[in-house]
Amino acid sequence: MSNSAFKGGISQVEIGTDNSVVGEGSSVVVDINRDVLAVDFSEDMFRNSMSGVVAVANVSGWDGELGGVQGTEWVTISFNAKQYVDGEEKPYSITQRFKVYKVTERADETNQLTVYVFHFTTYQFLIDSLKFEDHLSNRHIGPISTQSGQNTGSLTNQDYGLVNKIFDVAGFELDVGVQDEDPIDIEPTGNWINYVPGYLDDTKHTRR
């Protein structure tokens, strides 16, 4: 039986604007030793996601290079770690991108600095938290899914697949790499579906 032990640390923290993941906007790599003050992660055994906070000071002036902080940024953290397997040291590296959903700002008047505290989560948490009935507020009587890139339009377009609408609402187009132009390929189906939002469903109400 092999015995393994893992230890590691953060090698890089990159902060990018909301549209940086699609090759637009801008991003900056902050100085680990000068700017990053603290990083904390939290997990929930009942969710397939991870959340955390990172406190970053503007010692190096990275916020000016970024063009300001809006609270909608992406935080990409690289872990450059070591893994020991049967006493042998092996490198282990991983990079994970998180979505910022909240940012707090406080002034350090003593050092004349600004400290930003980014609250972030894996993108899956945002998807899981969506209430689709709040967004897909219109009845859908049409195809379950249509071919990616075809029959696009508003959420009221009955020729646009329900699955496609859900992906649009969830904002999956944001979760792409710079080199990925169309990472999601939705296959069309021949079946139709009658989707009724909760507040329109008469079966949930008692009539007299």
Where, residue-wise, is CATH 2.40.10.10 in the chain? 4-128
Nearest to 13 by CA among 45, 52, 68: 52
**Tokens 């909240």 correspond to what residue?**
102
Report the share of the chain in percent with pLDDT over 90.
Answer: 25
Q: Which of 78-92, 133-147, 174-188 is predicted most confidently?
A: 78-92
pLDDT in tens, 54-105: 999 999 999 999 999 998 899 999 888 777 778 888 877 888 889 898 999 9
Amino acid in position 83? Q
pLDDT of residue 66: 94
**Tokens 């079946």 correspond to what residue?**
191
Specify burial of residue 129 (Cβ count, 10 A radius: 0-12, 13-18, 19+).
Answer: exposed
Confidence of residue 47 (pLDDT cuts 50, 70, 90): low
pLDDT in tens, 92-126: 788 888 989 899 998 887 778 999 999 998 866 66
Confidence of residue 186 (pLDDT cuts 50, 70, 90): confident
Instruction: Tell me the two tokens of residue 64.
Output: 């000016």
> What are the distances in angstroms from CA 113 to CA 33, 34, 48, 71, 81?
15, 12, 36, 18, 31
DSSP per position, 44-89: -TTSS-EEEEEEEE-TT-HHHHHT---S--EEEEEEEEEEEETTEE
Confidence of residue 36 (pLDDT cuts 50, 70, 90): very high
Confidence of residue 137 (pLDDT cuts 50, 70, 90): low
Mean pLDDT of the 14-20 span: 90
Enumerate residues 6+ apart whose C-beta is below 8 A from 187: 145, 147
Which one is the CATH code of 4-128: 2.40.10.10, 3.90.1150.10, 3.30.210.10, 3.40.309.10? 2.40.10.10
Report yes or no: 99 and 121 within 8 Å, Cβ to Cβ.
yes
